[in-house]
């Protein structure tokens, strides 16, 4: 059995609906940088996963095509909450905005993601894709 990144990252979907997703992630020392603050990569991973979850509500699978994140305030522990919402969902791409908050509701980061929607032909072209379920559904 393979443990995927999502299964080992302490992230979980709290709520998901048409065009939005809310995820949480518990923090521990493994997610801190050398200054004792949450590593930017952990924040980015949470934002990326939240954008992906929101994009899956279109009923299509997707991968990240482009992204940008602004780190606004540092965090050092507790629980993080990511709120992703759809800005646009077109034929081949979707744009999603993600805000990440700490457990006192302070805004930590804001990110924008462009997701590329996979059609059936693109999914079939990847041999590992067959018989796999998306873990957040």
Q: What is the mean pLDDT of each run of 10 residues along the chain (137 residues)?
A: 62 94 91 92 96 96 97 90 98 97 96 93 60 49
User: How many C-beta neighbours within 10 Å does residue 86 have?
Assistant: 19
pLDDT computed for residue 1 by the predictor: 44
- Name residues whose C-beta falls within 8 Å of residue 81's C-beta, 6 or more positions apart in sequence: 14, 22, 23, 24, 100, 101, 102, 103
Span between the terminal Cα atoms of the chain, in Å: 19
pLDDT computed for residue 30 by the predictor: 86
pLDDT computed for residue 9 by the predictor: 72
Q: What is the pTM of this model?
A: 0.85
pLDDT computed for residue 78 by the predictor: 87
From 32, 27, 25, select the one nearest 7 (Cα to Cα). Answer: 25
């Amino acid at each position: 059995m393979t443990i995927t990144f999502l299964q080992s990252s302490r992230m979980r979907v709290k709520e998901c609906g048409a065009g939005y997703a809310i995820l949480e992630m518990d923090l521990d020392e493994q997610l801190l940088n050398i200054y004792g603050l949450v590593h930017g990569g952990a924040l980015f991973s949470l934002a990326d996963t939240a954008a992906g979850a929101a994009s899956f509500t279109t009923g299509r699978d997707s991968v990240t095509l482009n992204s940008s994140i602004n780190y606004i305030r540092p965090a050092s522990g507790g629980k993080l909450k990511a709120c992703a919402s759809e800005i646009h969902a077109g034929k081949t791409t979707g744009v999603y905005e993600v805000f990440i908050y700490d457990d006192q509701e302070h805004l930590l980061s804001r990110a924008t993601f462009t997701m590329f929607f996979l059609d059936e032909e693109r999914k079939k072209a990847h041999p590992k894709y067959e018989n796999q379920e998306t873990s957040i559904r």
